[in-house]
Structure 1
Amino acid sequence: MRIVLVGPPGAGKGTQAVRLAKELKIPHISTGDLFRANISRKTELGKLAKSYMDAGNLVPDEVTIAMAKDRMEQEDAVNGFLLDGFPRNVAQAEALDELLKTEKIKLDAVLDLEVPEEEVVKRIAGRRLCRNKAEHVFHVTYTPPKAEGVCDVCGGELYQRDDDSEDTVRTRLEVYHTQTEPIIDYYKAQGLVATISALGAVDEVTKRALDALKRDGDEEK
């Protein structure tokens, strides 16, 4: 299957992408991984992307698209892939369509992870990280530490990242609504969108997504 995963920050896209890709036996292709891989391998695209990033500028769509094209042409993606973080806007979605048309393949589904805005703010703004070990993550509501501000695991100080503040989260949401959300209508016009509630346990969300993909597959038959 060839799938695009869409959703606002805090919807759990990264977690669901890994789980779905494993279940469907297809590679998980994320924009962040593409940038890191190309920059670490010092590919021409990686050098180009780094030059924009080092200057504090956004990486142009054509560079992101070229990286995605290169990754989708690798052997493990021949029979399918799950795209996470790409396309990020309608221009990228149109470019992806052209690319797939050239390869004589098409998307099977676009999974839209839906979360109420206030829940997104609650999820992200409530997150606390340990200064000693970044992988020690707590949440003031869902997984609070035993002692406020203290890591249960190592006793380190817990803190809130600057980009997890409520104001920053709301700004990120506005960017999502303005730039990325329009691709949902773009793909709805093609009959590809399955909207999934991303509320509840991780396993429940994964099951909803797999059930939606199965329904879409059955309907195509």
Structure 2
Amino acid sequence: MSDIESHDPFAVARSGSRPRWRPASRSAQAGRSAHAGRRALGLDGTPRGWMAVVVCDGQLDDAFVVPLASQAIARVRPAAVAVDMPVGLVDEAGRDADTAARRLLAGAASTVFTPPPRAVIEAWRQGEVTSHGEASALARAVTGTGVSQPAWRLVPKIAEIDQLAAGWGNGLRECHPELAFRQLTGGDRLPRKRSWDGVMRRRALLA
């Protein structure tokens, strides 16, 4: 059995370094088994796979990078998973969840993107859609609206999570970081997340 070495998430994001593989210790495996029922896993896509953050009893327990989301789930064996990726795809022009999120994120609604319809994800899985142009053409035929470039780049990860969600039911939930931060501030809008003030404010909220 293999595991992935933990990293400081900010260092990983800055360096873009590859995660290093090492065997999991017996004590680490035993600890995970003992706390499995109280552990929650958060996942967010990165260019090298998935950033995973583990919370146990309300405290940060671990943070690491894995190529596949399923590897993080196998390592942590969490009671619940929250992922910053669309869950629950439809063949319509937009989802109710996205509309509600934009309404709650007044002033920052653009942080919520519209995912491709399920038809595009299924066609990509079958190899019938291999380019942004093909994806947009299919989406327009199904919903009347094309697929944005950012959404197209996320198709592999959306498909990966869609497959995982089928076996997890309500245990795997979609989340939105900016919506979570808006909740933590009591509804106040934060500075842009890529600004120094924005980074510091968000880190303070998570401290």
Question: Does TM, normalized by the shorter one, top 0.5?
Answer: no
Q: Return the TM-score normalized by structure 2.
A: 0.29
Greater relative contact order (Cα < 8 A, sep 6+): 1
Tell me the TM-score normalized by structure 1: 0.28
